[in-house]
Structure formats: C-alpha cells, structure tokens
C-alpha cells in the first residue's frame, strides 16, 4: 500500500514452465496449436477437459471454469458472447497487462477455444480506455489473424471501459458494457444465462483464457497438464516484478527462491497475499501452498497471488487502515454492506491510528467484517475485512498498544509521535516555517528551527518538506532528542551527554 511501489511489468525469470508468457510462440509468432487440437473435439469434450483439469477462474471468485462453460453451453440462444476482461484490479499484479504485452495471441486463442466450447460466434475484449497503444496493438493483431483465417469465424471487437476495481466482477463489467452505472448486479440469473443485453455471456479474466490455451497446448502434445499462475511480487523484497510459476509452490518458496527474500539489513514482518483485500501472513505461516484449495482449507480465499512484503518498520495498524481505505474507495456503492460497511470499517481502524479508539472497537471491527463478508453483494467488498482480521490474529499486541497505551512502536502513526528538528542537521533554510498550518515552528534565516510541542498538531508536513532538504526532522517516541529551547545560530548547539534512542527518520 502506501510506500509500496506499484507493480511494473518487470519479468522475473524462473525455472518453471512459462506456459502463458511465451507458450504457443515460435520465433515470436503464434502457432495456435491449442486451437488446432480443440477444433478436433466437440464442445462437450472441451468442457470435460477443462473440468478434468479443475481449472478455476483467475482474478475473481475462483469458480470452476467448467461450471460457467456448461451453463453457457446449455443455453439455446444463438447470440452467445465471450468476453475477455483485461482490467487488472490488483495494483500489485498487472496480469492482463503483462499477457497483452508478452503473449496476446495466447489470450485470444483461449477465448476462441471457449467460444467453440459454448457455441459463441462473437467475442469482446474489454480494455482500459486509457491504454490506446495496447488497443492499437490488439487491433493490428486481430486484423492479421483475421486475414490468415485463424479466428475460427469468430468476430472480435475491442470495447473500452473504465479501469475500475469493481469491474473484476462480471455483472459490474456488463453494466460498463451497457453504459450503465458501474455497479454489481443481482444473480441469478448468471451472466452465462442472461448477461450483456440479455445474451448468454461467458466472461473470464485474460489470465484464465491464457491458461485455457496452455492446457490444450499441453494436451495436444500428449503431456501431463501442469497449470501455472502469474505472481506479483512487490514491497520489501530483493526482486520485485511479475513471474510465472506452477500452482503447487508454497508462499515460502516464492518468497525465498523467486523473490530472494528481504533486502540486506531488513527483517520480514509480514506478507500480504491477494492484493489490498488479501490476508496477512507472518514468517511462521509461509508454508501454505499458493492454491485456491489450500487457502480454502484454512478458511481463507485466494483472489490472486500478488504478494507484498513489509519489513519491521511497517506499522500493521496503519497498513490495514490503508487496505480498508482502498476497499472503501473501490466499493461500487450499490449495497448497504459494501457502501456503509467498508466506510465504518475504515473509520474504526483510522481511530486506532489517531488516538480515538474505544475498548469495544475490536468487537465492532469483527462484527462489521463478518457482516460485509456475508452481506455484501459482490466479492470485491466481501473480502474487505480480510486484512484487519488476519492482522489481529498475528499482531494483537500491536493493536492493543495503539488502542490502550496510545503508542505506535514503529513511530509511523503521527498521533503517537512527536516531531523534532535535530540541531546538528538544521541549516536554517526556513522552508518549513510558512508551511506549518499551526505555526508551531520558530526560527529565521541562519537560525536552528525549533518546534513548539504544545502547539504542534502532528501533521508531519515539516518532515515531508525537510526530507528533500536537510533531513533534519525526526520522529520520537518516549525518548526525545536534545534540542535548543529557542532558535539559536546554526552550528552553535552543544549537545549534553546522552543518546538519541527512540528516534526515526522517514
């Protein structure tokens, strides 16, 4: 979240099969061997192969893909539609963007196999309206494939949609396609029965279609099918980026072998898995396998395998507050639990970081989280309480310190720290003086500035300004630094014997 870089498409090489990133390409050109094999089979046989391999949808509810296909295939309408969702909701796992950059033909091939399986003759590729270059490249590719008669008679159209987090959910995407307010809809009927403009509509994320093509590519060669997933790696790690690996790896293996563990001098505090609404895992919980089945067995769910690593300087309360803020902003606002529940959750957690929490707040957070999970209309909101609930299981003492002792051990939460200007560092530049909203800083050109602790409102603006200059502003907990009582000329301060424990510069 805040302070953790947004993912780029830097590919981390691994020794695992690259079935989606480069599968089906020979000298950079698509072979469409998976489609060639699929064209020899009936729609029912295609669905059986997908079911036998227990493929689940990616970047969503992780429903069995074959269930959607069977439902859509069972409809008698002759205007069925396949929709490829390329909107990446998770800021730390740009799976669709990566596939469209590295192997867009694999995504299209998977969509063509799905279209054959359910009896569809038309397909939409929904793309971020801001990505004009990607849209142009896809248009050129589709034109080439059409000219080479490789689209199986299926008509493709590119549809620009807003890149909103809620569009991960099928009914919200349909609302966007129909030009309606982008909100989740009621089911049943399911989109595979009655979706876009009332047509049977089969919707999957781009990675799901890429994996479909990979399965049939391996089946065409008579190989045992090995499924892979795209994994996002961000935060405090030796290697950050995106990689493809098999679905049988543990979180520890990905963390240590692929990401290289923590950078030198840093110690792991927790990993968050599944994006901003994912679960937190401490070091002793890293042996869990990154699969839907393993997570469900532990009472969790794996929206997607994006992993954010945080070191011991991270305040877990502040971190889950940012997660709750993300979920509240991402909610479409249609249902009460999604609209009001996420707002209340964010407010209760925010109170913990601002010295406003009460003794019964933890019980309220648990109640609200459970209410959102069972009562929200769509999965985008249902998982909003996962970060704070998992954090409470691991870091109960840190929450208690914020709530009852009014302390932040990491000196991150502004309300629980004091700000000081180190006299040895201050250059007397005066940059911070006019920016302080409560005029708590005394000083002048050439004088060491001093913060009046009785006036300071702990906003941290001085810290932000000084960070790009002298880096003289520090945070303090119980132990305060020695500073002059009033402004004195730069370079004249004499420190008394004593340490500077309890300080942190951000």
For 207-245, what is each residue's pLDDT tens digit?
A: 999 999 999 999 999 999 999 999 999 999 999 999 999
pLDDT at residue 138 tops 90? yes
Task: Grade residue 506 by pLDDT with cuts at 50, 70 and 90.
Answer: low
Predicted local confidence at residue 502, as pLDDT? 47
Predicted local confidence at residue 342, as pLDDT? 95
Half-sphere exposure for 46 (CA within 13 Å, toward CB): 29
Residue 213, judged by CB atoms within 10 A of its CB (0-12, 13-18, 19+), counts as: buried
pLDDT at residue 3 tops 70? no
Task: Grade residue 503 by pLDDT with cuts at 50, 70 and 90.
Answer: low
CATH topology of domain 25-220: Rossmann fold (3.40.50)
Token match 């493709």: residue? Answer: 156
Contacts of 15 (CB under 8 A, 6+ apart): none
Strands 441-442 and 418-421: unpaired
Cis peptide before 188 (omega within 30 of 0): yes
Task: Grade residue 9 by pLDDT with cuts at 50, 70 and 90.
Answer: low
Predicted local confidence at residue 89, as pLDDT? 82
pLDDT at residue 152 tops 80? yes
pLDDT at residue 411 tops 90? yes
Task: Grade residue 478 by pLDDT with cuts at 50, 70 and 90.
Answer: confident
Q: Summarize the confidence of residues 131-149 as an average pLDDT.
A: 97
Predicted local confidence at residue 4, as pLDDT? 54
Task: Grade residue 504 by pLDDT with cuts at 50, 70 and 90.
Answer: low
Q: Summarize the confidence of residues 274-288 as an average pLDDT.
A: 95
Q: Do domains 25-220 and 417-506 have the same CATH topology?
A: no
Q: Summarize the confidence of residues 374-386 as an average pLDDT.
A: 88
Residue 231, SS3? strand
Cα separation, 54 vs 501, whole angstroms: 56
Give me the CATH code for the 417-506 domain, please: 3.30.70.20
- Average per-residue pLDDT for the chain: 93
Domain ranges (residues) in the chain: 25-220, 333-410, 417-506
Residue 310, SS3? strand
Percent share of the chain, pLDDT over 90: 86
Residue 210 structure tokens = 């890429």
Predicted local confidence at residue 49, as pLDDT? 98
Residue 75 structure tokens = 């409809």
Cα separation, 164 vs 422, whole angstroms: 44
Predicted local confidence at residue 15, as pLDDT? 95
Q: Summarize the confidence of residues 107-135 as an average pLDDT.
A: 97
Task: Grade residue 60 by pLDDT with cuts at 50, 70 and 90.
Answer: confident
Contacts of 395 (CB under 8 A, 6+ apart): 270, 316
Predicted local confidence at residue 397, as pLDDT? 95
Predicted local confidence at residue 82, as pLDDT? 98
DSSP 8: -
**b/e map 420-450, b = 16+ CB within 10 Å:** bbbbebbbbbeebbeebeeebbbbeeebbbb
Closest CA to 153 of 120, 113, 123, 121: 121
Contacts of 435 (CB under 8 A, 6+ apart): 461, 462, 465
């Amino acid at each position: 979240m805040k302070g953790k870089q947004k993912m780029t498409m830097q590919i981390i090489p691994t020794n695992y099969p690259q079935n989606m990133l480069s599968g089906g390409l020979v000298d950079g050109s698509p072979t469409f061997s998976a489609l060639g094999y699929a064209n020899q089979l009936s729609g029912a046989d295609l669905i059986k192969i997908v079911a036998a391999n227990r493929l689940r949808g990616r970047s969503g509810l992780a429903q069995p893909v074959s269930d959607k296909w069977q439902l859509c295939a069972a409809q008698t309408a002759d205007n069925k539609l396949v929709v490829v969702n390329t909107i990446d909701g998770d800021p730390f796992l740009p799976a669709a963007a990566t596939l469209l950059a590295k192997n867009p033909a694999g995504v299209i091939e998977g969509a063509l196999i799905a279209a054959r399986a359910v009896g569809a003759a038309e397909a939409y590729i929904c793309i971020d309206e801001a990505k004009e270059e990607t849209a142009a490249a896809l248009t050129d590719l589709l034109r080439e494939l059409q000219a080479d008669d490789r689209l199986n008679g299926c008509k493709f159209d590119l549809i620009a949609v807003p890149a909103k987090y809620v569009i991960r959910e099928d009914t919200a995407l349909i609302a966007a396609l129909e030009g309606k307010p982008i909100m989740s809809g009621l089911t049943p009927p399911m989109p595979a029965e009655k979706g876009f403009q009332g047509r049977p509509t089969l919707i999957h994320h781009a990675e799901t279609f890429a994996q479909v093509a990979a399965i049939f590519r391996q089946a065409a060669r008579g190989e045992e099918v090995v499924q892979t997933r795209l994994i996002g790696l961000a935060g405090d790690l030796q290697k950050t980026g995106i990689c493809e690996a098999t679905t049988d790896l543990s979180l520890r293996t990905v963390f240590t072998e692929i990401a290289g563990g923590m950078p030198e001098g840093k110690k792991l505090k927790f990993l968050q898995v599944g994006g901003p609404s994912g679960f937190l895992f401490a070091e002793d919980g890293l042996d869990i396998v990154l699969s839907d089945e393993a997570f469900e067995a532990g009472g969790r769910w794996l929206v997607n395998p994006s992993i954010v690593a945080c070191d011991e300087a991270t305040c877990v309360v502040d971190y889950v507050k940012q997660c709750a803020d993300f979920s509240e902003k991402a909610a479409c606002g249609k249902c009460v639990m999604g609209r009001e529940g996420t707002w209340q959750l964010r407010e209760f957690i925010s109170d913990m970081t601002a010295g406003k929490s009460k003794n019964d707040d933890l019980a309220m957070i648990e109640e609200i989280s459970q209410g959102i999970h069972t009562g929200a209309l769509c999965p985008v909101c249902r998982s909003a309480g996962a970060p704070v609930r998992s954090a409470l299981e691991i870091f109960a003492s840190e929450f208690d310190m914020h709530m009852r002792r009014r302390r932040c051990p990491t000196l991150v939460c502004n309300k629980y720290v004091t700000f000081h200007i180190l006299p040895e560092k201050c250059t007397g530049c005066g940059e911070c003086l006019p920016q302080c909203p409560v005029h708590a800083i005394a000083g002048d050109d050439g004088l060491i500035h001093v913060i009046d602790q009785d006036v300071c409102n702990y906003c941290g603006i001085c810290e932000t300004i000084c960070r790009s200059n002298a880096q003289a502003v520090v945070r303090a907990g119980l132990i305060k630094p020695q500073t002059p009582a009033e402004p004195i000329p730069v370079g004249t301060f004499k420190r008394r014997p004593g340490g500077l424990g309890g300080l942190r510069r951000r």
